[in-house]
C-alpha cells in the first residue's frame, strides 16, 4: 500500500469509534481483537491508505516516526542492553530507532556541531555521553524532546541510577567485612573525558571511606582505560603498592573480570587473599562468582523510551531513578581470614 | 543552515574542481585539508545551501541517507559486535543506521509483511534472520540493495563464516585429542525456528564424526535454548546419559559458559574429566580459558556495510567469506588423561 495522504491510527479509531490501542493491535495482528472488529479496522485503514509503520508515528505525535539514540559504543553489555531496551519500547509504539555511535571526544564535538538529527528524528535519547554547556544548548536548539540516560540532567528529562550510592553500597559491604585498605580501580576514556558515572562512583568510594573514618591514601586508586585489559592493569598497579589493599572496588564487572585475571596469574586467591566488588551484574558476573552492585541496564533503556514518548505526546520532562542493589557472591570475604592468607602468600612468594 | 535544495558533496566538488573526499574532509573538519581550500569549500557549500549530514547520503548514491539493520536481538556479544561494525562503516560514509529488532518469529513475519523500510532507507542489512521464500521475495520487492550477514544467500549479497567448517575445526580438535564420545549442545529459539548457523554447525559436527569413523549416538546431542542457562541445562542433559561424553562441542561460547557452570557444580574438572570447545571467541572466553573457534564478529559487520555501500553506488551484489580459526586454551585435553580422571570421579561420586 503506497500512502496517498497522512493518515494516523487516531483517524482510523475516530471514524470507527474504537480506541487507538484497538486499532494498533488490529493492524499489528496482536491477539485480543475480535475478528469482525479487526476486519473492519483493516478495511477502514486500507480505505484511508493507511500505512502502518510510518503513520504509527502519528500515534506518538511525532513527524518522522523515528528517534535518535546517541551512544559512545554499542558492543558492550551496558550499552547494548540499554539500546535493546530503548528499541523494544519504541518499536512497540511504532517508532524507529536510529543509532548514532560517537566513541571519541572528537566525534561527539562534531556530532553536536553538525547535529544530523534535525528533521530526521522526533526526539533524542543520549546515553552516558558527557554534555558540556555547548552540547546542551545545541541539543536544546533542536526544539525536540531529549532524554538523558545514566546521569541526572538539570535541563532534560533523565533516567539514571544513583552511582554515588551504588559505590557506597559496594564499599560499605567491604567495610562491614572489616576491610580498611580498600583499593579502587576507576576508568577514563582515551580522550581523558570525565564521565558522570565514573565521577559519581569515585565520589561514593571516598564518601564511604570517610563515613567509616578510614584514612585515604592515593596509592590505592588506579586509573585505567575501561575494559578487561584495563582492569587487569589496574590490579597490577594496586599490587605494586608497598602495602597493597585487601579489597578492591572496581568501576564495573568487566573491569573486575580483568582484575580477577591478574589475581589468578599472581596466585592470589579470591576471596581468601583479596576481596573484589564491582557494579553492574553483567551476565558473566554470576559465572565468575563476583559480588557486585546490580544496576538495571535494559530497564534504563525502556524507561528512557517511555519518558521520551510521553514528551513527544506533550508531557513535561521528568526524572526517573532506578534502584541499585548489592548482590553478594563469593568474591568478597571478611578481612580476618584474608589477612592471614595474604601473609602466607607473602611467605610462599 | 536550512537546505533550500538538494545539493550533494559531488556538486560542491565539481564546482570547485576538488575531490569528493576533500569536500567530505573539509566539511567534517577532519585534518589534512589546507585552510584556504577548506574555507573555499565551506563558502561554496554554504552558497549552495549544503547541509552536511543528509546530503552526505548523496555521496553514497542513496536518497534517504539511511540504512536499515534487521537483527533478532541487540544485547548479546555477536549481534552487538556486528551492529557496531556496521554502524562504524556507515557513519564514516555519512549514512545513518536504523535498527529493527525482531526477536520472535511473529515479529519477523509481521516485519516482512509490513516492510516499514520502504522509502525510509536506501538499503538493508539482515543479520542472521532466517529468510523463507516469502520474506526473500518481500525484501526483493523493495528494489533496494540487501546484504545478508551470517549465512550465504542465493539471492542477495552476503557475508558469512563457514559454520560447517567452524564446527569441524572444533570437533576435529577433540578427535585428534583421542576423544570418541563427543557430545553436542545445539540451540533452538523458543519458536523452534531453524537458524542457519545452528544447522550448519550441527552438520559440521556430524561430518567431522563421520570422517573420523565415529559411531553417532543420538543421546550425545542436547538441544536447548540459546544462552548461559541453556548451556547449563544442555550439560545436565548430557550428564544424564548412561555413558556421558568425554568431550562436548557447544554451539557458542555463551552456551559453553553455562556448560562450565554445570560441570563446576558437578565437581567435574575441566579439562581433566571433560573437554569443552565452542565457537565465537567472546571476550570472556579468554578469562574462562575456553578453547574455541574464533569468528570475527565486528568484521562481519564492517564488511557487510562495505558491500552494501558498494551496491548503493551501483556495484553488483557479491559474497564474502571470513575465516574461522581454532584458539586452543585450557578447556580441552587429550582423552588418555581424561578417562583416568573420569574413573576417579566415578569412584568419588
Q: Which of B24, B49, B63, B74 to mutate to test the interface with A (most CBs of A within 10 A)?
A: B74
- Contacts of residue A193, defined as CB under 8 A and 6 or more positions apart, other chains included, come to A105, A130
B141 vs A: CB within 8 A: no
Q: Chain A residue closest to B1 (CA)?
A: A114
Beta bridge partners of B291: B277
Any chain A CB within 8 A of the CB of B140? no
Note whether A75 contacts B74, CB cutoff 8 Å.
Answer: no
Record: contact B84-A101, CB cut-off 8 A: yes
Work out the pLDDT band at A218, boundaries 50, 70, 90. low
| Residue among B15, B332, B2 at smallest CA distance from B178 | B332
Structural contact between residues B293 and B249, judged by C-beta atoms closer than 8 angstroms: no
CA atoms of A320 and A318, how far apart (whole Å): 7
Q: How far apart are CA A160 and CA B312, in angstroms?
A: 40
CB atoms within 10 A of CB B138: 17
Q: List the strands of the sheet with A182-188, edge to edge.
A: A221-225, A182-188, A247-250, A275-280, A291-294, A325-327
Name every chain A residue with its beta carbon within 8 A of the beta carbon of B289: none
CB B115 within 8 A of CB B83: no
Kindly tell me the burial class for residue A160, based on how many C-beta atoms sit within 10 Å of its own C-beta (0-12, 13-18, 19 or more).
buried
B156 class by beta-carbon count within 10 Å (0-12 exposed, 13-18 middle, 19+ buried): buried
Judge: B99–A101 Cβ closer than 8 Å, yes or no.
Answer: no
pLDDT at A30 (0 to 100): 64
* C-alpha to C-alpha distance for A202 and A196, rounded to whole angstroms: 10
Instruction: State residue A336's pLDDT score.
Output: 66
> What is the nearest CA distance from A309 to chain B, expressed in angstroms?
18
Secondary structure (3-state) at B54: helix
Q: pLDDT-based confidence at A8, cuts 50/70/90? A: low
170-229 in chain B: CB under 8 A from chain A: 228
Q: What is the pLDDT of residue A56?
A: 43
Using the Cβ of A284 and the Cβ atoms of chain B, whether some distance falls under 8 Å is answered with yes
Q: What is the DSSP string of B129-176?
A: ----HHHHHHHHHT-S-EEEESS--SSSEEEEE-HHHHHHHHHHHHHH
Residue A346 parent element (H or E)? helix A335-348
Residue with cell 476486519: A39
Query: Which residues contact residue A216 at a Cβ distance below 8 angstroms, ignoring those fewer than 6 apart?
Result: A206, A209, A210
Measured between CA atoms, the residue of chain A closest to residue B254 is A284
pLDDT at position B46 is: 62
Q: Which residues of B241-268 are buried (b: 16+ CB within 10 A; e: fewer)?
A: eeebbbbbbbbbbbbbbbbbbbbeeeeb
Angle at B241 between CA B238 and CA B244, to 5 degrees: 70
pLDDT on residue B7: 52
Tell me what pLDDT residue B3 has.
35
CA distance B202 to B187: 10
Which one of A28, A54, A74 has the shortest CB-CB distance to B80? A74
Predicted pLDDT of residue A29: 59
E-state strands within A95-145: 96-101, 123-127
Q: Taking CB atoms and an 8 Å cutoff, what residues of chain A touch B86?
A: none
Could you give phi then psi for residue B149, rounded to 5 degrees? -110, 135
CB contact under 8 A, A101 and B88: yes
pLDDT of the residue at B52: 42
- 8 Å CB contact between B95 and B60: yes
Q: How far apart are CA B193 and CA B221, in angstroms?
A: 18
Are B281 and B254 a contacting pair, CB within 8 Å?
A: no
DSSP string, B74-93: SSSHHHHHHHHHHHHHHHHT
- Beta carbons of A116 and B28 less than 8 Å apart: no
CB B87 to CB A74 under 8 A? Answer: yes
In chain A, where do the E strands start and end? 66-71, 96-101, 123-127, 146-149, 157-161, 182-188, 221-225, 247-250, 275-280, 291-294, 319-322, 325-327
Q: Point out the residues of chain B with pLDDT beneath 50.
A: 1-6, 49-60, 338, 340, 344, 346-349
Determine which of A29-33, A71-75, A322-326, B194-198 has the lowest per-residue pLDDT on average: A29-33
Give the SS3 label for residue A206.
helix
ipTM of the complex: 0.79
Q: State the pLDDT at residue A19.
A: 77
Would you call A58 an interface residue with chain B, using a CB distance cutoff of 8 Å? no
Cβ–Cβ contact B285 with A under 8 A: no
The more confident residue out of B115 and A228 is A228
From chain A, pick out residues whose CB is under 8 angstroms from the CB of B79.
80
**CA distances to A66, B11, B90, B314 from B310, in Å:** 26, 20, 12, 6
For chain A, first and last CA: distance in Å? 75
Q: State pLDDT tens for residues B127-169.
A: 999 999 999 999 999 999 999 999 889 999 999 999 999 999 9
* Residue A312 in this model has a pLDDT that exceeds 90: yes
Residue B221, phi then psi, degrees to nearest 5: -115, 120
Nearest Cα of chain A lies from the Cα of B244 at a distance, in angstroms, of 23
**Average pLDDT in chain A:** 87
Output the 3-class SS for B234-278. Answer: HHHHHHCCCCCCCEEEECCHHHHHHHHHHHHHCCCCCCCCCEEEE
- Rounded to whole angstroms, the Cα distance separating B136 from B112 reads 9
B74 vs A84, A110, A283: nearest CB: A84
Reported as half-sphere exposure (CB side, CA atoms, 13 A), residue B24 has a value of: 16
The pairing of beta strand A157-161 with beta strand A146-149: parallel
What is the model's pLDDT at position B30?
A: 64
- Name every residue whose Cβ is closer than 8 Å to that of residue A100 and which is 6 or more positions away in sequence: A68, A69, A70, A71, A111, A116, A117, B91, B96, B97
Give the span between the Cα atoms of B315 and B311, in whole angstroms: 5
Preceding amide of A21 cis, omega within 30: no
Q: Contact, B160 vs B318, CB < 8 A?
A: no
Chain A hits for B54, Cβ within 8 Å: 116, 119-120
Alpha carbon of B261 to those of A46, B246, B275, B349: distances in Å?
A: 54, 16, 14, 18
Q: What percent of chain A has pLDDT over 90?
A: 69
Q: What is the predicted pLDDT for the residue at B135?
A: 93
- Tens digits of per-residue pLDDT, A313-349? 999 999 999 999 999 999 999 886 545 455 545 444 3
Question: How many CA within 13 A on the CB side of residue B156?
Answer: 30
CA-based diameter of chain A, in Å?
85
**Across the interface, do B77 and A81 touch by the CB < 8 Å criterion?**
no
Amino acid at each position: 500500500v503506497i500512502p496517498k495522504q497522512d493518515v494516523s491510527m487516531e483517524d482510523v479509531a475516530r471514524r470507527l469509534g474504537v480506541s487507538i490501542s484497538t486499532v494498533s493491535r488490529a493492524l499489528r495482528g496482536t491477539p485480543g481483537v475480535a475478528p469482525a472488529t479487526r476486519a473492519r479496522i483493516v478495511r477502514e485503514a486500507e480505505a484511508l491508505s493507511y500505512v502502518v509503520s510510518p503513520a504509527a508515528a502519528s500515534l506518538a505525535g511525532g513527524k518522522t516516526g523515528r528517534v535518535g539514540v546517541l551512544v559512545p559504543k554499542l558492543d558492550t553489555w551496558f550499552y547494548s542492553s540499554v539500546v535493546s531496551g530503548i528499541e523494544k519500547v519504541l518499536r512497540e509504539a511504532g517508532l524507529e530507532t536510529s543509532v548514532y555511535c560517537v566513541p571519541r571526544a572528537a566525534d561527539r564535538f562534531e556530532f553536536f556541531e553538525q547535529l544530523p538529527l534535525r528533521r530526521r528524528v522526533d526526539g533524542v535519547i543520549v546515553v552516558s555521553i558527557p554534555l558540556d554547556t555547548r552540547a546542551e544548548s545545541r541539543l536544546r536548539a533542536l526544539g525536540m524532546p531529549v532524554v538523558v540516560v545514566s546521569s541526572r540532567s538539570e535541563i532534560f528529562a533523565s533516567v539514571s541510577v544513583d552511582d554515588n550510592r551504588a559505590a557506597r553500597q559496594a564499599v560499605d559491604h567491604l567495610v562491614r567485612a572489616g576491610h580498611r585498605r580498600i583499593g579502587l580501580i576507576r576508568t577514563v576514556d582515551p580522550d581523558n573525558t570525565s564521565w558522570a558515572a565514573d565521577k559519581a562512583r569515585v565520589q561514593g568510594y571516598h564518601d564511604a571511606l570517610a563515613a567509616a573514618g578510614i584514612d585515604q591514601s592515593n596509592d590505592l586508586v588506579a586509573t585505567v582505560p575501561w575494559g578487561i585489559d584495563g582492569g587487569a592493569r589496574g590490579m597490577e598497579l594496586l599490587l605494586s603498592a608497598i602495602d597493597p589493599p585487601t579489597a578492591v572496588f572496581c568501576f564495573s564487572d568487566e573491569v573486575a573480570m580483568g582484575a580477577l585475571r591478574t589475581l589468578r596469574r599472581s596466585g592470589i586467591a579470591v576471596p581468601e587473599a583479596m576481596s573484589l566488588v564491582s557494579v553492574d551484574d553483567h551476565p558473566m558476573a554470576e559465572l565468575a562468582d563476583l559480588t557486585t552492585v546490580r544496576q538495571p541496564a535494559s530497564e534504563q533503556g525502556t524507561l528512557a523510551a517511555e519518558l521520551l514518548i510521553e514528551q513527544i505526546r506533550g508531557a513535561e520532562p521528568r526524572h526517573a531513578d532506578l534502584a541499585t542493589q548489592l548482590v553478594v557472591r563469593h568474591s568478597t570475604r571478611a578481612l580476618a581470614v584474608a589477612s592471614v592468607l595474604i601473609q602466607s602468600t607473602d611467605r610462599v612468594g
